[in-house]
Structure 1
Amino acid sequence: MQDIPEMTEFVKNFSLRSYDNEGFSRVLLQLFGFLGHGKSSFINTCKYVLDDTEFKIYADVKSSDGGNTTERITFPLTDTLTLVDNRGCSVMNDYETGEIFAQLGNLLPLDRAVEWSKGIGLMDRIVQAERHVKSSDFIFPIFVYSVKKGLTYDEVPEIQALLNTARDLTGIFPVVVLTHKTHSNLRDVETKFKDMDVERIIALENFTPEDHIKTRGKHEEVLKFYIEVIKDIEFRLQRMSNPEEEREKRKQFVLRFVYDRELEKKAEDTKRECQREAERMREMNNQEKSCTLQ
């Protein structure tokens, strides 16, 4: 096994220039998931380990994990690797997941406000954002989940659907990062993610302002995360078309998702309206019968 300095240099020296990648210039490590699951603390931890200097607050844990992050914020790690803190969601309904997929597919501008859209508003925003988005960005999805939150069997289907759709969108099954690994729920949460056919699960404990003493174990956990991600990037690079085609495929995927979502919503609204009308007619018939009897 490589020691910590060797692992650090391997990550820092990783470059897309040494691959026949047809135009990709950098990697966006796209963090996504629920609000309050440790994305911001994970960003601070990743920066702390790779920079190997004093602990700093790069991502505001209180505002981000509290649900106030409204931008896709970038945090450069190296000349090649950049972390992206995408706006999280509180529930997994089709409106919020549609927004997540638009961010995950890199179809919305970086370091700008992300406003949740109703109806087909998201489609308009995707089209308008085209001139601000770089096709040369390689997309790598990372799902962050807190072990402390636990995971019930009722929640598994929606998370599995989210991960599968992220895979279909990006061509890469998301790496799952489990934060708060020392919590008693770790084994149960790990098992449930394995049952979802997650290929790579990395459990770790984030550094925090209150606990940022450098230990070999914590450093190795984060560096191993980097190395595993780089291996997946190298594998995927050999099987991708050019950046423009990849971005176009992602755009068509998300636009189709939003379009299908709107059709389903209209069908559900029509069904509910028919049910209300049927109920109204039954009430009128009952009233007429009551008047006749009187």
Structure 2
Amino acid sequence: MLCCAGDNERWKRLSEYTPGSTRKLQGHEYSRVCVQLFGMTGHGKSSLINSCLCVAKDIEYRNVANSGMSNKPITMMRNEFKINNAVYIYDNRGISKLTEEELFEISAQFCQLRTTGEVNWDDRYRINNEVLRKILQIQPEIIVPVFVYSAGCPLTQTIEQLDPFFREAYNMTDLFPIIVLTKCKQINTEELEYKFRQLGVNHVVRIENYTTTNNQRNPEIDTNILKFLNLCLDEADQGINLKLEKKYHQELLYKIVRLNTLITEAKERKLKQLQEEESSNQSSCIII
């Protein structure tokens, strides 16, 4: 591996990672992490996957995710790629208009109701036996949402129009998407990053991907890819921790409700006992 300061540690952490291990979290059921990539068509999702696989596996660049030419909508499928035994990355179909159908489809993918294969926006899931069966078959896994955006794209109202997607991502995963800005060379991204943070985003990272025309490994790209993947691990464990806290709070609420029920029942028994004693005393007085 092309090593910079800290890269060996980041690579080792990635290769040895299991869900919850970065925070030493225990008592959870999550067996794998799914990094879900979304983005407008042609903004570099497939290139990011190729770069991640290249660096994580420490191999020569390969166009595994079928990255195409800039601004060409290549990904019409939902594809899964294995980083290691615990971490998988998904290349989802590119977003175009953020219609109701697209948002519904995105939600289905966040819930892992979609298997890999061709994605048709109008093929909407409904609450039926098929959906219920899929939900029951889903393995315990934590979802890390990632939104890929080309910094070379003209800065328009598109960012604000992404608000429904960001809110849906947070509602479904308890995490705001990590923003990956691609094609950033010689571009000032300060205003772009500010607009994303206005939508609630906590993490914005800049990455120059390896491509079919720029496929020679170099330390700078390796380091940025490793930082991104380690950030995904941090977010995954943050998500697990939040879900454990929710579970703890639910259990605490159950205990409080149960305790309140026991206190109420005790009061009712005491009141009944006092009423019986009073009734008994009144009966004794009458007999005398």
Fold equivalence (TM over 0.5): yes
- Conserved? CA contact 2:105–2:121, under 8 Å: yes
Query: What TM-score do you get using the length of structure 2 for normalisation?
Result: 0.75
Indicate which of 31, 35, 38 corresponds to 2:41. Answer: 35
Query: What TM-score do you get using the length of structure 1 for normalisation?
Result: 0.73
Q: How do 1:121-200 and structure 2 match up within 5 A? A: 121-123=124-126, 127=131, 130=134, 133-152=137-156, 154-184=157-187, 186-200=189-203
* Aligned amino acid, residue 116 of structure 1: W
Q: State how far apart, in whole Å, the 2-side matches of 1:150 and 1:234 are.
A: 35
Question: Aligned pair in 2 of structure 1 residues 107, 163: CA closer, same or farther (>3 Å)?
Answer: same
Q: Which runs of 5+ in 1 are unaligned?
A: 243-294
2:231 aligned with 1:228: yes
Quote the residue 1:290 is aligned against.
Answer: none
Q: State how far apart, in whole Å, the 2-side matches of 1:168 and 1:140 are.
A: 12
2:32 aligned with 1:26: yes
Aligned residues: 239
2:18 aligned with 1:8: no
Larger radius of gyration between Structure 1 and Structure 2: 2
Question: Aligned pair in 2 of structure 1 residues 74, 137: CA closer, same or farther (>3 Å)?
Answer: same
Q: How do 1:40-51 and structure 2 match up within 5 A? A: 40-51=46-57
Give 3-state SS (helix, strand or coil) of 2:89's partner: strand
Deviations 1:183-228 (A, max 9, x none): 5252332222122231001111001111122222111111111112
Q: How do 1:181-260 and structure 2 match up within 5 A? A: 181-184=184-187, 186-240=189-243
2:96 aligned with 1:90: yes
Give 3-state SS (helix, strand or coil) of 1:67's partner: coil
Distance apart, 1:104 and its partner CA: 2.0
Deviations 1:61-114 (A, max 9, x none): 1299633433321000011110001112211121112111211221212x2332
Question: Aligned pair in 2 of structure 1 residues 132, 92: CA closer, same or farther (>3 Å)?
Answer: same
Question: Aligned pair in 2 of structure 1 residues 63, 84: CA closer, same or farther (>3 Å)?
Answer: farther
Q: What's the % identity of the aligned pairs?
A: 28
- Conserved? CA contact 1:71–1:86, under 8 Å: yes
Q: State how far apart, in whole Å, the 2-side matches of 1:31 and 1:87 are.
A: 9
Q: Which runs of 5+ in 2 are unaligned?
A: 246-288
Structure whose residues are more often helix by fraction: 1
When the two chains are superposed, the root-mean-square deviation of aligned CA atoms in Å is: 2.6
Q: How do 1:57-68 and structure 2 match up within 5 A? A: 57-62=63-68, 66-68=72-74
